[in-house]
Amino acid sequence: MEKFRKNLRVASLAIIAIIILVVISMIVNPIRRTNSGVRRHLLLSTPIGTNIEEVIRVSEENAKLTIRYVRENAGVVLLKPNLSPTNFLPNSIRDTIVVGEKSICIYLGTFNFITRISVEAFFAFDESDELIEIFIRRYYDFP
């Protein structure tokens, strides 16, 4: 009976240690947070209203970020929210919504949690080159 209690204590401590490590990794690596958490983190350095040139400068100064593209003539294209989640490719222009007049796509990084997860941010700007919204997208690479 005493051996069982000792094993139970060791297992409990191991579970607590794993939980603490997961929480620490979420604090240290912001892309492990929820999409809204990642968005909030990005808004700390590039708040709504930030000029497009400032967003580019902040991104280039951070070695962990990679600018995938800057579109001077197209906003962020999103699928309409009422579409099926299995409809990955829009059938027509009516299936999409465009937010903003210009956009930047920034690769934020990749991490492993059961599978490999890559995270990107899409910054939408108005006609005055001011940031109006940030969208987060995750890609899951299942083996």
Tell me the per-residue pLDDT of 62-110, one tens digit each, with 9 for 90 and over.
888 999 999 999 998 887 765 444 444 555 555 778 889 999 999 999 9
Residues 24 and 43 in one domain: no
Structural domain count of the chain:
2
Residues 16 and 75 in one domain: no
Residues 8 and 40 in one domain: no
Residues 11 and 46 in one domain: no
Residues 56 and 122 in one domain: yes
Residue 104 near residue 54, CB atoms below 8 Å: no
Buried b (16+ CB within 10 A) or exposed e, 63-83: eebeeeebbeeebbbbeeeee
Q: pTM higher than 0.95 for the full model? A: no
Give me the domain span that covers residue 111: 35-141
Residues 111 and 47 in one domain: yes
Residues 55 and 125 in one domain: yes
Q: In terms of C-beta density within 10 A (0-12 exposed, 13-18 middle, 19 or more buried), how is residue 101 classed?
A: middle
Choice between 27 and 52, residue whose per-residue pLDDT is larger: 52
pLDDT tens digits for range 58-67: 999 988 899 9
